[in-house]
Structure 1
Amino acid sequence: MTRFAQYLPILDWGRRYDRAALGADLLAAVIVTIMLIPQSLAYALLAGLPPEAGIYASIAPILLYAIFGTSRALAVGPVAVVSLLTASAVGQVADQGTAGYAVAALTLAALSGAFLLLLGVFRLGFLANFLSHPVIAGFITASGILIAVSQLKHVLGVEAQGHTLIEIGGSLLAHLGDANLPTLVIGVTATAFLFWVRKGLKPALGRIGLPPLAADIATKAGPVAAVVVTTLAVWELELEAQGVAVVGAVPQGLPPLTLPSFAPDLIAALALPAILISIIGFVESISVAQTLAAKKRQRIDPNQELIGLGAANLGAAFSGGYPVTGGFARSVVNDDAGARTPAAGAFTAVGLAVAAMALTPLVFHLPTATLAATIIVAVLGLIDLTILHKTWNYSRADFTAVAATIALTLLLGVEVGVASGVVISVLLHLYKTSRPHVAEVGRVTGTEHFRNVLRHEVDTDPRVVTLRVDESLYFVNARFLEDLIQSRVTAGSQIRHVVLMFSAVNEVDYSALESLEAINARLRDMGVGLHLSEVKGPVMDRLKRSHLIENLNGRVFLSQHDAWTALTDRTRRQPSRMES
């Protein structure tokens, strides 16, 4: 049972499921379902798909994640950033509104699901760590700006094209004179109302004595109220005849059985976007899941999360949806509403299925301006320009990465932005580790502690130089250490010993080993001994398999204090070569 539960977490929490958990999960499902109905329709609009695709993408994926996922509160489905990435990727291979566009979206979901499953099965979740948090924050901020600006065409009731901020902004300005007044009134009113709902409705309901739970449900139902009121307004006033765009006919029923395309050309065109969507979606999802789990001291298995999200995306591909991931807003709502197990997500899927069968005819007159308002209000919470100020103050390298990611995303589009984000993250890591922090240290008087000579009053000996290496050594930074030692030794004619303090070194790869051998040979020619101290066991095990230790022009010391005592006391008995 334990082995199966590792891959099917439902077997773990399911056997402990009780009536109390059922009640809590049902209540959470009701609240999240109310929130998801307009949100799912809106995100499908953002992805360039029919509105029902958003509902379909929120049913089978949620059920599959409940079986394979490990988070008790994560709510899986369409999200703003992934919807935008979907529109960008699919728009390059098919025209919006065609059958080929929908098939391409299904194929994108299938490829994303397969890639996530592959990562999960081979336990490669660590690869997502190569996308740094500042770069992710920069990309999401830029995407939020692009999404909000792209929806202004629906608020204005005009046609506007483009994938970059300049293209979209220029197109909007060119068509500004064609704005439809009834559409503008609906869009601006809905946006203002939804902003007020998010910030002011709950406190207002509390002041009139409504219980907190009822006030919370009413706040989450705000978008539904906007949908109902604007739909009735369009229907009663016959605003469709005045140019107000509406959702139109939405198929009534459960998600259909669909098949992605297996055409090699389409798969080749969508493979890279699918990988990028998978990485972005997984990073966003695992961040939310771990944050919510930490509050309740629960454990999230990143590799099993990959399997859960992979299954969810495959479910979307075979049920009329498009790529999905764990959403921040809906997951927080799910957690705040008291969800105890993934069953809350399954109950939410049931609620959405009921809506798909019974409520879709009611959204015929729903204005797209209201859905655009829903998207704008939702994504503005993603925009965090303070990340620029924070990274500027903390790390100029991180600031450069954030600023570059934001600029490239806004100016060249989301695909270039996310691809550049991955490249910048890797380059930033390589840059930082290529110049490891190496401190020259001395002994704190009267102790066995050694600290940076530039920061502390310490004892030093002109014949002995101790360098504390604060980074693992590998091919990127090995030459840096060579140059540093060469420069330091040539600058001090009295130097007779160089000690490399390896207390922070966790790895020495073969390139670094060759550099250490070169340093050893060079120092021997100069009449200077090379010594190692505080070498960790796994590192020493590997060094012993080489010729470095037996050819070392010095010794290996168990502690830096031992090295200091031996090398600064000429009357001390010469110890054996290996002291560790």
Structure 2
Amino acid sequence: MRVLPPGVRELRGYRRSWLGRDLAAGAVLTALLVPQGMAYAELAGLPAITGLYTSITCLLAYAVFGPSRILVLGPDSSLGPMIAATVLPLVAAGGDPERAVALASMLALLVGVVMVVAAWAGLGFVADLLSKPTMVGYINGLALTILIGQLPKLLGFSVDADGLLQEVAGFVRGVADGEVVPAAATVGIGGVVLVLVLQRWLPKVPAVLVMVVLAIAATTLFDLGSRGVGLVGELPQGFPPLTFPGVAWSDLGLLVGGALAIALVALADTISTASAFAERTGQEVRGNQEMSGIGAANIAAGLFQGFPVSTSASRTAVAERAGARSQLTGVTGAVLILLMILLLPGLFRNLPDAALAAVVVTAALSLADLPAMARLWRQRKVEFALSVAALAGVALLGVLPGIAIAVGLSILNVFRHAWLPYQTTLGLVDGVAGYHDVRSYPAARRLPGLVIYRFDAPLLFANAKTFRDEIRTLARSEPAPHWIVVAAEPVTDVDTTAADMLLDLDRLLDEHGQALVFAELKDPVRRKLERYGLTRVIEPRHFFPTVEAAVETFRARTGAEWTERVPATAPQGPAPPGVPPPRPPG
């Protein structure tokens, strides 16, 4: 049976009553797509027109290959600095727009291929490599980088600098040297204030469109071009032909590295956005299909002088509020932009560059999430530190190193939890069924000669020494236990390094008349221990299905009775009946 693309399959369920809403939402969406597309293209170091080419192709491609009815793809403020960081170092000094466009288009193709291959391999889980704290730090660092980079353009001058600190110094120097263009600064700062006020008090009004229209009107009325205000100028008429970008083989190394980073950020952004909107529309998020849809959109953009794209939460929200019901909204937006390029290329001739900078600055302000940083500070200082480290990595080392740092910190945080997991001993709590953490219940009772120990992680090479050291510490405690029962329900895995450690630990305890006992081992873990040969060395009677069974067996053999919890420093008491006292642990 012929397999149809997800977007085509969605058409089967299309309702005629949706048509009017989709067309109207597409018209509203276009008002946001055009200025943002142009602004984000310049943020990426590319001609403004490429933002419109990109918007058209990615919207059409995702409408065919994307699984979501409502997600809107396009140029994104979070990807702009990453594209610039990848492409601009490869462009000769002085800049070559055609070479920059070719490199950006190849970057989009590579991002698309990475996405499609990852979807085919079922690698949607890689989005989880960016934990929430490090993603918050990365995004805040990105917002800071964008904001500082756009301030000179907002005030009508430019800065030639590499890195955040140099950009700050260049901006301060430019202001001190009188390079600010008053008319451009008025347009730029006024545009930022206008957009923020409208978004805050009149959220249904297309704030960006209103600002752009007023900026064009002011330029025409007061002839701001003659007052030193930079203008977008006439856009090229027509749509570019299907073209495979030509780049040198020597450029591919940096492009591939940038493509991997961009694909990771785009995927994480898309999955989170898709999940949020799927909850509202009742759709199910299909991670691998989303990867394929984004991949197809990037490939299409790359073949028509575009650059990498991602999902936009703000544009998706606009489409949803405007009544969008399907991807026909995006198709409508793409057609309207195409008609504008073909029939009205001079429409944005008098749009000030400072107005585009205002679009980017407001986008950067919306990216920043300082309340999330404050919440991390209140809730968990370690994750706050990870977030700050990711922010500093982006701000001080650059966008691409910053994403590498964010991923590395996320992985290290997972490793830290595995290396130093939570571990405790359990006791009997009056009136509460089962056995419970003595830290939460200090009055919990214990059995003389028995310790119930819980290790809340898989047993791996990274934490085998931690487990061993804690068991040896318990074995040396006073009064010395005869049985150490491992409540193993949280142990989801045991690797070969940990298995060898368990063998050595069992022999050491046996030498001192003590026993290592396991309770509640999961069946897959028990089978692994059998493969490793542990069940032939550790006595079979030292494996129990439940902690309760282990405790009752110990009580039956020793006659021990529950007592008040004995402090670890208490002197050793007499051995329970029938059990010889252990020799001093070595």
| TM-score normalised by length of structure 1 | 0.91
> What's the secondary structure of 1:567's corresponding residue?
helix
Structure 1, residues 300-337: CA drift from partner, whole Å, max 9, x if none? 11111111111111111101110100011111212222
Pairing 1:558–2:555 present: no
> What's the secondary structure of 2:384's corresponding residue?
helix
Query: For the Cα contact (< 8 Å) 1:4–1:11, is it kept in 2?
Result: no
Corresponding residue of 2:53: 56
Pairing 1:322–2:322 present: no
Inter-CA distance 335–201: structure 2 relative to 1 (3 Å threshold): closer
Query: Kindly, what percent of the aligned residue pairs are identical?
Result: 31
Corresponding residue of 1:207: none
Inter-CA distance 4–476: structure 2 relative to 1 (3 Å threshold): farther
Structure 1, residues 6-30: CA drift from partner, whole Å, max 9, x if none? xx22243221112023233222212
Inter-CA distance 458–473: structure 2 relative to 1 (3 Å threshold): same
Distance, in Å, in 1 between the alignment partners of 2:523 and 2:247 is 51
Deviation at 1:118, TM superposition (A): 1.5
Distance, in Å, in 1 between the alignment partners of 2:386 and 2:553 is 46
> What's the secondary structure of 2:518's corresponding residue?
strand
More deviation, 100-109/452-461? 452-461
Distance, in Å, in 2 between the alignment partners of 1:24 and 1:507 is 53
Inter-CA distance 564–65: structure 2 relative to 1 (3 Å threshold): same
Aligned counterpart in structure 2 of residue 515 of structure 1, from 494, 501, 517: 501
Deviation at 1:450, TM superposition (A): 0.8
Structure 1, residues 444-465: CA drift from partner, whole Å, max 9, x if none? 3466501011221323113111
Distance, in Å, in 1 between the alignment partners of 2:352 and 2:166 is 25
- The number of aligned residues is 553
Inter-CA distance 103–460: structure 2 relative to 1 (3 Å threshold): same
Pairing 1:144–2:143 present: yes
Pairing 1:14–2:7 present: no
Deviation at 1:97, TM superposition (A): 4.0
Deviation at 1:503, TM superposition (A): 1.4
Distance, in Å, in 2 between the alignment partners of 1:273 and 1:52 is 22
Corresponding residue of 1:187: 188
Corresponding residue of 1:89: 86
Corresponding residue of 1:75: 72
Corresponding residue of 2:405: 420
> What's the secondary structure of 2:159's corresponding residue?
coil
Distance, in Å, in 2 between the alignment partners of 1:272 and 1:224 is 36
> What's the secondary structure of 2:436's corresponding residue?
strand
Query: For the Cα contact (< 8 Å) 1:148–1:379, is it kept in 2?
Result: yes
Distance, in Å, in 2 between the alignment partners of 1:244 and 1:446 is 77
Pairing 1:483–2:469 present: yes
Distance, in Å, in 2 between the alignment partners of 1:184 and 1:45 is 18
> What's the secondary structure of 1:81's corresponding residue?
coil
Corresponding residue of 2:30: 33
Distance, in Å, in 1 between the alignment partners of 2:353 and 2:333 is 24
Distance, in Å, in 1 between the alignment partners of 2:244 and 2:70 is 30
Inter-CA distance 472–340: structure 2 relative to 1 (3 Å threshold): farther
Deviation at 1:511, TM superposition (A): 2.5
Inter-CA distance 460–417: structure 2 relative to 1 (3 Å threshold): same
Deviation at 1:344, TM superposition (A): 2.3
Inter-CA distance 133–458: structure 2 relative to 1 (3 Å threshold): same
Inter-CA distance 516–448: structure 2 relative to 1 (3 Å threshold): farther
> What's the secondary structure of 1:92's corresponding residue?
helix
Distance, in Å, in 2 between the alignment partners of 1:431 and 1:557 is 30
Structure 1, residues 535-573: CA drift from partner, whole Å, max 9, x if none? 12222232222201121145211111111111122168x
1:450-529 matched pairs, under 5 angstroms: 450-456=435-441, 457-492=443-478, 494-529=480-515
Distance, in Å, in 2 between the alignment partners of 1:480 and 1:88 is 42
Distance, in Å, in 1 between the alignment partners of 2:26 and 2:386 is 39
Distance, in Å, in 2 between the alignment partners of 1:437 and 1:352 is 56
- Please list every run of 5 or more consecutive structure 1 residues that lacks an aligned counterpart in the other structure: 203-215, 573-580
Greater Rg over alpha carbons, structure: 2
Distance, in Å, in 2 between the alignment partners of 1:360 and 1:558 is 75
Deviation at 1:163, TM superposition (A): 4.2
> What's the secondary structure of 2:516's corresponding residue?
strand
CA RMSD in angstroms comes to 1.9
Deviation at 1:233, TM superposition (A): 2.5
Query: For the Cα contact (< 8 Å) 2:46–2:97, is it kept in 1?
Result: no
Structure 1, residues 161-183: CA drift from partner, whole Å, max 9, x if none? 23433111111111111111111
Distance, in Å, in 2 between the alignment partners of 1:500 and 1:230 is 71
Deviation at 1:284, TM superposition (A): 0.9
More deviation, 241-250/337-346? 337-346
Corresponding residue of 1:165: 164
Distance, in Å, in 1 between the alignment partners of 2:524 and 2:259 is 38
More deviation, 477-486/520-529? 520-529
Corresponding residue of 1:210: none
Inter-CA distance 523–344: structure 2 relative to 1 (3 Å threshold): farther
> What's the secondary structure of 1:442's corresponding residue?
strand
| TM-score normalised by length of structure 2 | 0.90
Structure 1, residues 369-412: CA drift from partner, whole Å, max 9, x if none? 01111111122011112233221222222111111111221122
Structure 1, residues 121-151: CA drift from partner, whole Å, max 9, x if none? 1001112212111111111111112112211
> What's the secondary structure of 1:467's corresponding residue?
strand
Distance, in Å, in 1 between the alignment partners of 2:218 and 2:8 is 49
Distance, in Å, in 1 between the alignment partners of 2:125 and 2:498 is 23
Distance, in Å, in 1 between the alignment partners of 2:512 and 2:68 is 60
Query: For the Cα contact (< 8 Å) 1:448–1:561, is it kept in 2?
Result: no
Corresponding residue of 1:178: 179
Q: Which amino acid aligns with 1:196?
A: V
Distance, in Å, in 2 between the alignment partners of 1:446 and 1:411 is 56
Corresponding residue of 2:582: none
Query: For the Cα contact (< 8 Å) 1:32–1:334, is it kept in 2?
Result: yes
